[in-house]
């Protein structure tokens, strides 16, 4: 369904990604791990359409992926992905309204009623039915992410992109969210790409784990070479030794250069 | 003894400290006024509170001998009408300019440089041109207020539009929203409280332009009156007028803050999530 052929991404002289080749079938659940600034988020942005490849191709069903975000690819960010000025219910109803052509993005009459009904249903599914009339600032981090997921699912995307969606959550809540996302993945027959900092999360969730790392390293010019997919592993057949090996590779003794790299840039 | 930066007054002390400078100023005024009036009962510079009270009574509660109008209220109504219209025009125009330049790079490229240049023109320098073009009537005064504060509001709203996290715009697009829907449902509602903030901040400038325009060419208005009676050194009229203008400005500010909290409960408690 999605494939990359010799994909590169550069910002000026700074090579972020190089020689990415991959093929992902429908309904896979890919988790991506890597050090900060290794380009995993950049890769996700290319799938999303807010960044485009410098060279090579990124294909969806054999055609280059659209260079702007669209309803076939849903997204949940770590933060800011719900609308702060709408209540929980309005957030989801708005998602419904955006699917229809129109200028205002408001629904009226029967359409509004139907949308509210459908919104309440999906909010029940993610466990937010007790908070329909609250504003996002009144929700906990976990509830906010549940809302963001409900919103994304309502648009019926084929691909769901998750950019460190649970990075800011407590471990206990994170486990609940894992369960939720796995259930929804099966039920909605989604193809999921998830960026995470947490290797355990990558080993536990999904069907496939990618590790992004630099194959070549020039200490004089740290940005001369980009990262690539160094491990492409089917999840479920992983042993402890390999986990340790990857875990070590993700935590190299860093040589003083900025940890954030491009990850933090908008 | 705690460090000075860690010493905070209790509510009672805080209130007293707040009132203290007002009381001191009042006291100084009364003392100096008494001193001067004792030396010269016809002194006009620092009128006593009785004289000020008489002046207020004359202006506000007795019809004018010449026109039969209650001048104080007539002045207030005229000024507020001009200020209100000017601010309304500026807010609408500023919001439209700000949201379009902030959200649409194509519009921004064409309009922003002009906006920057226009905002650098001192509005008062345009006043003669406004008088020539629009005449000495109401329109030129309203236009001065509007022209004076529109660029400020527009540039503020433009910046606020860009401050809205890009994640929200991307999210809306992945939900299928088109440009108009994003602007109306995602950007506009989040900018309205910012617009109220911008209006609160520019109201001071609005008063400035209003009073300047009224001082130069008008037949009524709060600014007109204080500049008119200056010829007779009527401090007993000028002082209450200045106090009244200050009170009005304060009331508008409080009312707008209240309106913002009331209409946008999500904004007061966190804003961009």
Q: Is A95 on the interface with B (CB under 8 A)?
A: yes
Residue B57 has pLDDT above 50, yes or no: yes
Mutual angle of helices B188-216 and B222-229, in 10-degree steps: 30
Q: What is the overall mean pLDDT for chain A?
A: 84
- Whether residue B185 and residue A71 make contact (CB cut-off 8 A), yes or no, is no
> pLDDT-derived band of residue A236, with 50, 70 and 90 as boundaries?
low
What residues form DSSP beta bridges with B222? none
> pLDDT-derived band of residue A251, with 50, 70 and 90 as boundaries?
low
Distance CA A134, CA B168 (A): 19
Instruction: Tell me which chain A residues have a C-beta less than 8 angstroms from the C-beta of B171.
Output: 75, 77, 81-83, 148, 151-152
Closest CA of chain A from B181, distance in Å: 5
Best to test chain B binding among A105, A119, A135, A151 (most B CBs inside 10 Å): A105
Q: Is A83 on the interface with B (CB under 8 A)?
A: yes
Residue A259 has pLDDT above 60, yes or no: no
Q: What is the mean pLDDT of residues A26-55?
A: 89
Q: Specify whether the CB–CB gap between A123 and A89 falls below 8 A.
A: yes
Q: Within 13 Å, how many C-alpha atoms sit on residue B96's CB side?
A: 5
Q: Specify whether the CB–CB gap between A57 and A21 falls below 8 A.
A: no
User: What integer pLDDT is reported at residue B43 of this predicted model?
Assistant: 87
- Whether residue A84 and residue B266 make contact (CB cut-off 8 A), yes or no, is yes
> pLDDT-derived band of residue A170, with 50, 70 and 90 as boundaries?
confident
> pLDDT-derived band of residue A256, with 50, 70 and 90 as boundaries?
very low
Pick from B30-34, B64-68, B135-139: least confident:
B64-68
Q: Specify whether the CB–CB gap between A18 and A217 falls below 8 A.
A: no
User: What integer pLDDT is reported at residue A175 of this predicted model?
Assistant: 86
> pLDDT-derived band of residue B198, with 50, 70 and 90 as boundaries?
very high
User: What integer pLDDT is reported at residue A239 of this predicted model?
Assistant: 66
Tell me the pLDDT tens digit for each residue of B154-179.
999 999 999 999 999 999 999 999 99
Higher pLDDT, B269 or A110: A110
- Whether residue A103 and residue B181 make contact (CB cut-off 8 A), yes or no, is yes
Nearest alpha carbon to residue B145 among B197, B220, B71, B93: B93
What predicted TM-score, i.e. pTM, was given to this entire model?
0.85
């Amino acid at each position: 369904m999605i494939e990359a052929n010799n994909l590169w991404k550069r910002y000026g002289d700074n090579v972020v990604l190089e020689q990415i080749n991959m093929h992902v079938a429908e309904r896979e659940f890919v988790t991506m791990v890597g050090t900060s600034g290794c380009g995993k988020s950049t890769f996700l942005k290319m799938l999303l359409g807010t960044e485009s490849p410098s060279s090579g191709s990124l294909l969806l069903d054999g055609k280059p992926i659209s260079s702007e975000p669209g309803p076939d690819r849903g997204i949940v960010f770590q933060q800011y992905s719900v609308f702060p000025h709408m209540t929980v219910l309005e957030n989801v109803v708005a998602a419904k309204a955006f699917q229809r052509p129109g200028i205002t993005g408001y629904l009226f009459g029967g359409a509004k009623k139907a949308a509210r009904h459908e919104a309440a249903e999906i909010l029940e599914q993610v466990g937010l039915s007790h908070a329909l009339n609250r504003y996002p600032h009144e929700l906990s981090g976990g509830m906010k992410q549940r809302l963001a997921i409900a919103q994304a699912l309502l648009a019926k995307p084929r691909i769901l992109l998750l950019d460190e969606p649970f990075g800011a959550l407590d471990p206990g809540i994170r486990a609940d969210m894992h369960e939720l996302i796995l259930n929804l993945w099966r039920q909605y027959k989604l193809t999921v790409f998830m960026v995470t900092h947490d290797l355990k999360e990558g080993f536990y969730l999904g069907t496939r784990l990618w590790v992004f790392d630099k194959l070549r390293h020039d200490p004089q010019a740290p940005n001369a070479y980009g990262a690539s997919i160094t491990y492409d592993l089917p999840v479920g057949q992983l042993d402890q030794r390999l986990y340790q090996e990857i875990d070590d590779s993700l935590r190299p003794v860093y040589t003083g250069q900025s940890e954030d790299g491009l990850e933090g840039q908008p | 003894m705690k460090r000075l930066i860690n010493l905070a007054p209790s509510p009672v002390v805080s209130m007293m400290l707040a009132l203290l400078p007002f009381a001191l100023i009042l006291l100084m005024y009364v003392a100096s006024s008494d001193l001067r009036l004792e030396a010269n009962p016809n002194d006009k510079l620092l009128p006593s509170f009785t004289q000020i009270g008489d002046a207020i009574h004359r202006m506000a509660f007795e019809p004018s001998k010449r026109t039969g109008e209650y001048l104080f209220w007539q002045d207030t109504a005229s000024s507020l009408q001009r200020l209100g219209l000017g601010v309304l025009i500026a807010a609408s125009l500023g919001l439209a300019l700000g949201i379009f330049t902030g959200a649409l790079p194509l519009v921004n490229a064409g309009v922003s440089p002009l906006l920057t240049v226009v905002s650098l023109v001192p509005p008062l320098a345009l006043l003669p041109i406004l008088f020539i073009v629009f005449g000495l009537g109401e329109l030129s005064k309203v236009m001065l207020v509007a022209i004076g504060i529109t660029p400020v509001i527009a540039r503020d709203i433009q910046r606020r539009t860009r401050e809205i996290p890009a994640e929200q715009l991307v999210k809306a697009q992945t939900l299928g929203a088109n440009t108009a829907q994003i602007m109306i449902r995602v950007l506009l509602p989040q900018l309205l409280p910012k617009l109220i903030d911008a209006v609160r901040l520019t109201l001071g400038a609005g008063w400035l332009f209003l009073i300047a325009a009224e001082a130069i060419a008008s037949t009524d208005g709060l600014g007109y009156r204080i500049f008119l009676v200056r010829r007779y050194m009527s401090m007993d009229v000028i002082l209450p007028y200045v106090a009244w203008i200050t009170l009005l400005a304060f009331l508008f500010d409080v009312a707008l803050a209240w309106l913002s909290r009331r209409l946008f409960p999500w904004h007061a408690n966190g804003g961009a999530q």
